[in-house]
Homo-oligomer: A and B are copies of this chain.
Amino acid sequence: MKTQEKDSRDIVPEPTVKRLPLYLHFLKKAKENGVLTISAPIIGQELEQDPTQVVKDLAYTGVKGRPRVGYNIYELIKGIEEFLGFNQVYDAFLVGAGNLGSALINYPEFRSFGFKIIAAFDISDDVVGTQRGDVNVLHFNVFKELASKLKVRIGILTTPAKVAQEVAEQMAKAGIRAIWNFTPVKLKLPEGVIVQNTSMYSNVAVLVMKLNNQLKKNKD
């Protein structure tokens, strides 16, 4: 089973998918500054990426550039957005309305990155009934009902680690298909539920290790 089908749709390397939003952010800024065309070497210089890499990444989107000139910045922005699916916006539910949850709710830029948090959930009486920006914090016991009624497919998990697995299971049962997991817990869920982990720990480790190496290096 699971015939490991090399689907023409998922041959895009994950590193490419991760770099495209960085290009997008830069391109939007450049557009605001009145730039009309832009070349891969310029993007690469700005974002410290190999120019060939940039060309290859952009090629995946299907946008065509012109030799010696570069890419039309409007086409390129539109092309990347469409390629990444950012033109259509998913509704998302967030569970765990603590500081991190509130921070994510207040990231208005997410709306231009493919989804929008339309409600938050928690179980603490202190926060249920309050608002974060224009998002209401509801009790988690209405999550399932609302999720299926509104056909919400994306869930954001910013609860304490201890309840993460339990909450994630509830999410899956309520029809959530993709979970953005900010807890350090490795979630065990039915096949087909997509989990994207954003654990702070891995990043910390890289930072601390690099710093240690550099300080050691300077000593000798």
Interface residues of A (CB under 8 A from B): 7, 9-10, 12, 14, 17-22, 24-26, 46-48, 84-86, 90, 98-100, 102-104, 106-107, 109-110, 113-115, 153-154, 177-178, 180, 184, 186, 192, 194, 196, 198-217
Contact = CB atoms under 8 A, between A and B. Distances in A.
7 closest Cβ pairs, A-B complex: A99-B103, A100-B103, A114-B208, A18-B202, A21-B201, A196-B207, A85-B212
B115 A18 contact: no
Interface residue SS majority, chain A? helix
Residue among A17, A24, A217 having the largest count of chain B Cβ atoms under 10 Å? A17
Nearest to A5: B217
Copies in the complex: 2
Given A26-B186, A184-B25, A178 B107 contact: no
A13 to B, nearest CB: 11
A200 B154 contact: no
B209 A84 contact: yes
30 contacts: A7-B217, A9-B213, A9-B216, A17-B209, A18-B205, A21-B199, A21-B204, A26-B186, A47-B186, A86-B208, A90-B211, A98-B103, A99-B103, A100-B103, A102-B103, A109-B184, A109-B201, A113-B208, A114-B204, A154-B207, A178-B210, A178-B211, A180-B203, A180-B207, A192-B214, A194-B210, A194-B211, A194-B214, A196-B206, A196-B207
B201 A113 contact: yes
A9 B9 CA distance: 40
Nearest to A217: B7
Nearest to A206: B17
A113 B15 CA distance: 26
B85 A209 contact: yes
A207 B99 CA distance: 22
A206 B26 CA distance: 18
Contacts of A107: 200
Contact of A213 (B10, B98, B186, B211): B10
Contacts of A153: 211, 215
